[in-house]
Amino acid sequence: MTPEELIENFSYLSDWEDKYRYLIELGEEMPSLSEDEKIPENKVDGCMSQVWFTHRMIQNKHHFEADSDAHIVRGLEAVLLLLINDKTTEEIRSLDLRKLFSEMGLEEHLSPTRRNGFFAMLDRIDQLISKGK
């Protein structure tokens, strides 16, 4: 899914409850990490919920998997993965993820702690792609 398609999907949803349901659905469609992957090295600091990201390079493209113990956070992870998965470092860096988050109408409806958690996930993604491991 392209960023434009994702923004368009969210724009069709007129109220926050519909957007919230869509986020939860996206999170439910995402596979869970195994317990072996829920280790301190994969944990995202700065989130009130338990959040994990795994990362590996496949043919010079970043591949991420994520999980959380909170439904809305899993939805936010799913949005991020739709935007960044299987892209090169340059492709990911060319995306203004904070702006896209705002354009989807998510920023204004999340609590400050959820918003901060989302930004912590962005920071973690940036760390992982900078390492390029």
Indicate the helix (H) or strand (E) that contains 68: strand 61-68
Residue 74 near residue 68 (C-beta atoms within 8 A): yes
Residue 32: which of 1, 9, 66 has the closest Cα? 66
* Dist CA 7 CA 15 (whole Å): 14
Residues 6 or more apart whose Cβ sits within 8 Å of residue 59:
none
Is 112 a residue of the active site? no
Catalytic residue among 23, 30, 44, 47: 47
Task: Give catalytic residues, as residue numbers.
Answer: 47
